[in-house]
Chain A
Amino acid sequence: MASVPALEALPGLRVVASPEALDAVAWDERAVVLRFAPDDAFAIGVTGIDITDEHAIVAEETGFVGAWLTVDEFTEHVIPHVEWPLPDARPALGQGFIAGVPAKLWLTGDRALLICAASYAHELAERLR
């Protein structure tokens, strides 16, 4: 395998709200919704939501890039650079430094989504090359 697939823009919706309100959101079944924190969600590909929290901060998010990796790609190119224990459950979100760059992993049964802020994309791509 040559290298990690190119990191592409991951537009979506960023929502910061009370955990209860976020829990109650009826997300599109096809959407990948990453809970960065109990009060912080990033819904990839989503453009709008109904949420009960009147003070929720809902913003279009274009600040993340990512790449879907096969198990082989993930094992060969990413795992050697992960300095923290990967979660056992699937699906699962992992967050931490990868090759010294702040990044996130969305791990499903057969794929992994590698995510980082667009401003770090060049550094991460270069270090995983």
Chain B
Amino acid sequence: MTGAVRIVVDGHPIPYEAGDSVAVAVLRSGEHPHHGGTVCLAGDCGNCVAEVDGVTYVRTCQTPARPGLVVRRHPVVGAPQLQVPPQVDLTHPPLAPRIPVHRAEADVVVIGAGDSGTAAATKARRQGRRVTVLDAGDGMEVVAIYAGPTVIVRTPDGMLHIHARDVVVATGAAELQPVCPGNSLVGLVTARAAQQLHTAGVDLGVAVAIGSAPSGVPCTPVPGRLLRIEGDGTVSGVVTADDDGKGGERTTPCTTVILGLGRAARDGLSRMAKDLPVTVVGPAAEAFPLPACPTAGTVCPCSSVSVDDLESVWSRGFRELELVKRASLAGTGTCQGSVCLPYVRAFIAQRAGGIPDPFTARPASRQITLAEAAAGVHVDAFRRTPLHDEHIAMGARMDRFGGWWRPWHYGDHVAEYWAVREAVSLGDVSTLGKLVVSGADAVELLERLYPARVADIRVGRSRYALLLNERGHLIDDGMICREAESRFVLTFTSAGAENAEMWVRDWVETWGLRVHVMDRTMSLAAINVTGPLAGQLLERVGLATQPRFLQHVHGEVAGVPCHVMRLSFTGEVSFELHHSVDRSVELWRALMSHGRDLGIAPHGLQALQGLRLEKGNVIVGMDSELDSTPRRLGMDWAVKMEKADFLGRSALARTAELADDRRLVGLTMPGNAPTEGSPIWSEGEVVGHVASSFTSPVLGHAVMLGWLKRAPFPDRVEVDGRSASVVRPPFYDPDGIRARA
């Protein structure tokens, strides 16, 4: 193969020999893969990284040369240009090629096939255990160990995730690189790299050895302490001094400096696997002596951190290793501290008097591409209601809310709004959380969970309730529907349903109550029939006995068994029809068909958010904040402090004594609604922000919910440069006559 095959480096083809890595091929051609710095050829440093076939920061010493490989060296100064695909639509999958993920299991994973790794593997096999040995030299490079433990391996065929019972780290030791003036020149190699190059037939020129000289490599040993390396781009000589400091400096001319300065445990993987069943063996477990404290030169070649930079950081008070790392960026580059960590520890040890432990290691221990890091990672799965295709067919613009695809509008949200206010409209509320609780202690459970009274809810009746945490902060809201003496249906917000389910189950278990819980969120669909003609429509489709406000019944609607709940989020008469998901399309179509002459139209979330805002109905997470109490939300009416106890009660009693300096209020102003999130001003200062806003078609002005966070609360404020009045919601039908009609 000699001379017959070539790789392309910076646009020039260069030949390589069988078995060459890209780095060796480049060095063989007389060039340096990274314009300078010590070459280790062991994957431990960033001094040979280059762009390979369009991927930057590739360690060329670990990349086998192959015909036609295109290498571009990184710029001498600055970072290489990252490849950014021309992607404009973020809703579509990334354009990068998908990296396959293979998964495997093993009793023992041994990382490193050297002497200690081989011994560990042999021992485990003798114990009858399934052993997998991974070695970077075979193309199986371990880049991370996660809990499990799970070992993440980069392979030529993609990523490999291995679940293991035990992991043995036998990764050996890395060679120390010099920290002194001139350590960025071309012509510096570690002792093992020199041996490798010599074996590969690469001419090292006039070579001198500092420290331990490699056996069999023609070179002149230079005794003494390394002071600096001289040269103009390329090494021309090395300057040393006797260890005792006597005898002055000595300059030895050369073109290559071979550095046998000692070793440091290659322990990045074991450091990221603390508290996991991971054993470290061989040199990786050894406590090698630290090098002498550096006095000049580049300490961290990856991040270009010099000894002067460390001095600066130290003088500014960063005295711990983790802080020195963060303040100087030493150890944050591509080699993750493999080169600089021994020197930074030595630097701190000399000043602080004790040797600091190595800093924390985190995945990935070796540079990997974003595609490799993301391999096997999925974007969140968004659910579809059974009416998804119906919405699409009706021209809905779908969007993601609370883990579901939901219709934002069907083309004209104002028309949808008027259908609700003046006729009848359908809304897909299948996404609501739905729990059934049943048991001898069901009432006890709900009395403890909710600040509302539960025991006096009669069968067939329902009640709106807040869900508070122990600190009295609102975490969700919904309805409590009593089905029988010991059985209830609870509803929750779409986005809060999963958390609410966990919340309920957790408390059932914590309190040891005799209650069964069944989550019906994804088993039942729900259609909200709302508007002044809603009752008329339901009569047409066979619901003879319609529940009154806050009542609920079971009955057939258009032949579909439904649990019908009478409530109102829109401010108009509303019936929620809960039914099996497999009957949803049939029910939707029947309602649309029978409501045609009543002016029926579906409404999306955009219209719904305006409708509910006119009523002052809060959306948890949109209008509420993480520490919103009922008092701050103006919802004290939903809390029965006279109850003996409920979650959050003691916190509410305590905070009731504190100053009332934060409140969700209603705001109105002429004209169009300002943007949600707009600051609220009073007397030249920001006193809050707008949480929700809507230009009300029926009222002819803007309505808002907003937070005032400074007492005393003003009656008038400024939003969007305009004057707004602070009012008490609801803005529309304040007596709730329409909803109860």
B438 touches A119 (CB 8 A): no
Partner of B381, one of A40, A118, A123: A123
A59 touches B102 (CB 8 A): no
B438 touches A56 (CB 8 A): yes
Q: How many A residues, CB 8 Å from partner?
A: 36
A80 touches B103 (CB 8 A): yes
CA distance A121 to B386 in the complex (A): 11
Partner of A127, one of B103, B378, B523: B378
In the complex formed, the residue of A with least CB distance to B515 is A55
Is A62 an interface position by the 8 A CB rule? yes
Contacts of A11 in B (CB 8 A): 582
In the complex formed, the residue of A with least CB distance to B516 is A16
Contacts of A118 in B (CB 8 A): 386, 522, 581-582
Contacts of A80 in B (CB 8 A): 100-103
Is B163 an interface position by the 8 A CB rule? yes
Is B66 an interface position by the 8 A CB rule? no
B523 touches A14 (CB 8 A): yes
Is A44 an interface position by the 8 A CB rule? no
Is B439 an interface position by the 8 A CB rule? yes
Is B486 an interface position by the 8 A CB rule? yes
CB interface residues, B 577-621, toward A, < 8 Å: 580-582
In the complex formed, the residue of B with least CB distance to A124 is B381
A57 touches B581 (CB 8 A): no
In the complex formed, the residue of A with least CB distance to B386 is A118
* Contact flag A123-B382 (CB < 8 Å), given A55-B486, A63-B523, A80-B103: yes
CA distance A17 to B517 in the complex (A): 9
Is A113 an interface position by the 8 A CB rule? no
B522 touches A99 (CB 8 A): no
Looking at B379, B381, B436, the one whose CB has the most chain A CB atoms below 10 A away is B381
B103 touches A82 (CB 8 A): yes
Contacts of B376 in A (CB 8 A): 83
Is B384 an interface position by the 8 A CB rule? yes
A100 touches B379 (CB 8 A): yes
Min CB distance B561 to A, Å, is 9
Min CB distance A82 to B, Å, is 7
B378 touches A100 (CB 8 A): yes
Contacts of B718 in A (CB 8 A): none
CA distance A94 to B377 in the complex (A): 20
Partner of B516, one of A17, A82, A124: A17
* Contact flag A117-B383 (CB < 8 Å), given A80-B102, A82-B103, A83-B376: yes
Is A61 an interface position by the 8 A CB rule? yes
B438 touches A57 (CB 8 A): yes
Partner of A63, one of B105, B163, B380, B522: B522
Is A39 an interface position by the 8 A CB rule? yes
Contacts of B379 in A (CB 8 A): 100
Is A9 an interface position by the 8 A CB rule? yes
Q: How many B residues, CB 8 Å from partner?
A: 39
Partner of A122, one of B105, B384, B486: B384
* Contact flag A83-B103 (CB < 8 Å), given A55-B438, A63-B523, A100-B379: yes
CA distance A53 to B439 in the complex (A): 10
Is B371 an interface position by the 8 A CB rule? no
Number of A-B contacts (CB under 8 A): 90
CA distance A100 to B382 in the complex (A): 11
B522 touches A62 (CB 8 A): no
A62 touches B436 (CB 8 A): no
CA distance A17 to B486 in the complex (A): 14
In the complex formed, the residue of B with least CB distance to A82 is B103
Min CB distance B524 to A, Å, is 8
CA distance A51 to B388 in the complex (A): 36
In the complex formed, the residue of B with least CB distance to A119 is B383
CA distance A82 to B101 in the complex (A): 11
Partner of B440, one of A55, A85, A101, A120: A55
B582 touches A56 (CB 8 A): no
Is A76 an interface position by the 8 A CB rule? no
* Contact flag A99-B378 (CB < 8 Å), given A11-B582, A85-B163: yes
Partner of A39, one of B101, B442, B516: B516
B103 touches A57 (CB 8 A): no
Contacts of A57 in B (CB 8 A): 436, 438, 487, 516, 518
CB interface residues, B 67-116, toward A, < 8 Å: 100-103, 105
A60 touches B580 (CB 8 A): yes
B518 touches A16 (CB 8 A): yes
Is B520 an interface position by the 8 A CB rule? yes
Partner of B514, one of A14, A55, A61, A124: A55
A101 touches B381 (CB 8 A): yes
A62 touches B581 (CB 8 A): yes
In the complex formed, the residue of A with least CB distance to B380 is A100
CB interface residues, B 365-414, toward A, < 8 Å: 376-386, 388, 404
Chain B window 499-515, contacts with chain A (Cβ cutoff 8 Å), 1 for yes, 0 for no: 00000000000000011
CA distance A57 to B514 in the complex (A): 13
In the complex formed, the residue of A with least CB distance to B561 is A60
Contacts of A97 in B (CB 8 A): 378
Chain B window 555-587, contacts with chain A (Cβ cutoff 8 Å), 1 for yes, 0 for no: 000000000000000000000000011100000
Looking at A17, A53, A97, A118, the one whose CB has the most chain B CB atoms below 10 A away is A118
* Contact flag A16-B517 (CB < 8 Å), given A55-B440, A62-B581, A63-B581: yes
CA distance A92 to B58 in the complex (A): 45
Contacts of B386 in A (CB 8 A): 118-119
Contacts of B378 in A (CB 8 A): 97, 99-101, 127
* Contact flag A55-B516 (CB < 8 Å), given A11-B582, A63-B523, A82-B103: yes
Partner of A85, one of B105, B380, B385, B517: B105
Contacts of A61 in B (CB 8 A): 523
Min CB distance B439 to A, Å, is 5
B517 touches A117 (CB 8 A): no
Looking at A55, A57, A60, A121, the one whose CB has the most chain B CB atoms below 10 A away is A55
In the complex formed, the residue of B with least CB distance to A11 is B582
CA distance A61 to B436 in the complex (A): 13
Contacts of A18 in B (CB 8 A): 516
Contacts of B388 in A (CB 8 A): 122
* Contact flag A117-B438 (CB < 8 Å), given A62-B582, A63-B581, A127-B378: no
* Contact flag A59-B382 (CB < 8 Å), given A16-B517, A80-B101, A82-B103: no
Chain B window 6-34, contacts with chain A (Cβ cutoff 8 Å), 1 for yes, 0 for no: 00000000000000000000000000000
Min CB distance B489 to A, Å, is 10
CA distance A62 to B386 in the complex (A): 11
Looking at A53, A59, A99, the one whose CB has the most chain B CB atoms below 10 A away is A59
Min CB distance B428 to A, Å, is 12
Given contacts A55-B442, A57-B516, A83-B161, 15 further A-B contacts (CB under 8 A): A14-B523, A55-B514, A56-B438, A57-B438, A59-B436, A60-B580, A63-B520, A80-B103, A82-B103, A83-B103, A100-B379, A100-B381, A117-B522, A118-B581, A127-B378
Q: List 17 A-B contacts (CB under 8 A).
A: A16-B438, A18-B516, A55-B486, A55-B487, A55-B516, A80-B102, A100-B381, A101-B381, A117-B383, A117-B522, A118-B386, A118-B522, A118-B581, A118-B582, A119-B384, A120-B383, A123-B383
Of all A-B residue pairs in the complex, the 6 with the closest CB atoms, nearest first, are A100-B378, A63-B523, A119-B383, A62-B582, A123-B381, A117-B522
Residues of B within 8 A of A (CB): 100-103, 105, 161, 163, 376-386, 388, 404, 436, 438-440, 442, 486-487, 514-518, 520, 522-524, 580-582
Residues of A within 8 A of B (CB): 9, 11, 14, 16-18, 39-40, 53, 55-57, 59-63, 79-80, 82-83, 85, 97, 99-102, 117-124, 127
